[in-house]
Amino acid sequence: MQTSTAILEAFYQAAGQFVRADDLGRQLKLPTTAVTTEIAELEKLGYTIESHPHFGYRLLGIPDRLTADDIKARLKTKLIGSEILVFEETASTNDVVEHLAKSGAGEGLVVFAESQTRGRGRRGRAWASPRGKGLWFSVLLRPPLPPSAASRITVAASVAVTRAIREVCRVDARIKWPNDVIIGDKKLGGILTELRVEADEILMAILGVGIDVNCEQDDFLNDLAQVATSLKLETGSAQDRVALAARVLMALNEYYQLALTDFEAVADEWAKLCTTLGRQIVVTLGQRRIEGFAQALDSDGALLVRCDSGQMERILGGDLVVERA
Ligand code: BTN
């Protein structure tokens, strides 16, 4: 573990209390001077750290900046977040993860970007990713599932992201099928899962997550203005992106593993958070239009719709849903 990660971890464990440099040094098996040098480096990065001649140091404030060290300092996961990279700017974090996966990166790698120049959403749409205002990241997964069950990953991710947002920001975030995170009738985040498949095997799943954290109204241009929102707009105050990032990764770690072992438990959680189930809906699938009652998720994560004709339709992700009043 990096010294800066270990020091930040000690500050977070101390929860606002003082920690002494010599105690930290003993704990980290480092000379006290190495600890004080690292604390000075953290201050240069924008951390507000109070020092006291007897009590030591305490953390008073953190910069609004994603760093791998800080996210790792708050994580207690083994798989997701085993490696974290943060870029100032990328085209799409999904592409960076794919590239790194091809060069041998392991499952659990997470790539964040402070901004994306070519962020993409489902169905070929562009995804606006303004600098420093959101969480734009992708996770490399190698799920031992057949491609037909890949929707389980997206379902688990939407539960994880929604739960983490609810816990950290205390808002009534919910899921709109297939994988929009919403508040009221406005979209707050989305998930784009891209697969690389060979024969009947998933070689890799790249889970891309976008959350509008501190976006302002004027970050949502044109069509987005009426349908998008951010956690800042909903709560009236800027949210701590690092804390949210860490909580989302912890929840992803939990729900991903649950999706592999007990998908029914994930589907139950999803049903509690989803606004689509139990409603009359209209799904457009290219030229096709399916109308009916959204009944349940099946064991692969597909939505079961009882059509007005009485027939059951099984719909996998990637489709657009309009809820009928
Ligand atoms: C959606 O259409 O709702 C899915 C949006 C997914 C956006 C995220 S941002 C990080 C990752 N990189 C991308 O290019 N897209 C995903």
Q: Which residues pair with 180 in a beta bridge?
A: 176, 190
Pairing of strands 134-141, 201-212: antiparallel
Ligand 1 and 136: CB distance under 6 A: yes
Read off the pLDDT of each residue in 290-296 and give the average, rounded to a whole number.
91
| Ligand 1 site-directed mutation target among 98, 182, 207, 209, most atoms within 8 Å of CB | 209
> For atom 2 of ligand 1, which residue has the closest CA?
121
| Ligand 1 site-directed mutation target among 127, 137, 161, 241, most atoms within 8 Å of CB | 127
Q: Is the pLDDT of residue 90 over 80?
A: yes
* pTM for this predicted structure: 0.93
Read off the pLDDT of each residue in 235-257 and give the average, rounded to a whole number.
98
For residue 112, how many other CB atoms are within 10 A of its CB?
23
For residue 22, how many other CB atoms are within 10 A of its CB?
12
- Which atom of ligand 1 is nearest the CA belonging to 187? 3
Q: Is the pLDDT of residue 324 over 60?
A: no
**pLDDT for res 1:** 75
**pLDDT for res 263:** 96
For the domain covering 280-324, report its CATH number.
Answer: 2.30.30.100
- Which atom of ligand 1 is nearest the CA belonging to 209? 8
Q: Hey, what CATH topology would domain 3-61 get?
A: Arc Repressor Mutant, subunit A (1.10.10)
How far apart CA 297 and CA 295 sit, in angstroms, is 7
- Cα 191 versus chain centre, distance: 8
**Tens-place pLDDT, residues 19-30:** 999 999 999 999
How far apart CA 136 and CA 88 sit, in angstroms, is 11
CATH architecture assignment, domain 68-273: 2-Layer Sandwich (3.30)
Distance 192 CA to ligand 1 centre (A): 5
Place of tokens 């909903």: 234
Question: What average pLDDT does the chain have?
Answer: 94
- Which atom of ligand 1 is nearest the CA belonging to 129? 9
**Tens-place pLDDT, residues 128-183:** 999 999 999 999 999 999 999 999 999 999 999 999 999 999 999 999 988 899 99
Read off the pLDDT of each residue in 60-78 and give the average, rounded to a whole number.
94
Q: Of 260-264, 276-280, 309-313, 315-319, which has the strongest mean pLDDT?
A: 260-264
Place of tokens 């004080």: 36
**Tens-place pLDDT, residues 174-217:** 999 888 999 999 999 999 999 999 988 999 999 999 999 999 99
Q: Is the pLDDT of residue 318 over 50?
A: no
**Tens-place pLDDT, residues 98-124:** 999 999 999 999 999 999 999 999 888
pLDDT bucket at 316, cuts 50 / 70 / 90? confident
**Domain extents for the chain?**
3-61, 68-273, 280-324
Of 321 and 200, the one with more pLDDT: 200
Q: Is the pLDDT of residue 325 over 50?
A: no
| 68-273 and 280-324 agree in CATH topology | no
**pLDDT for res 77:** 87
How far apart CA 119 and CA 229 sit, in angstroms, is 17
> For atom 7 of ligand 1, which residue has the closest CA?
210
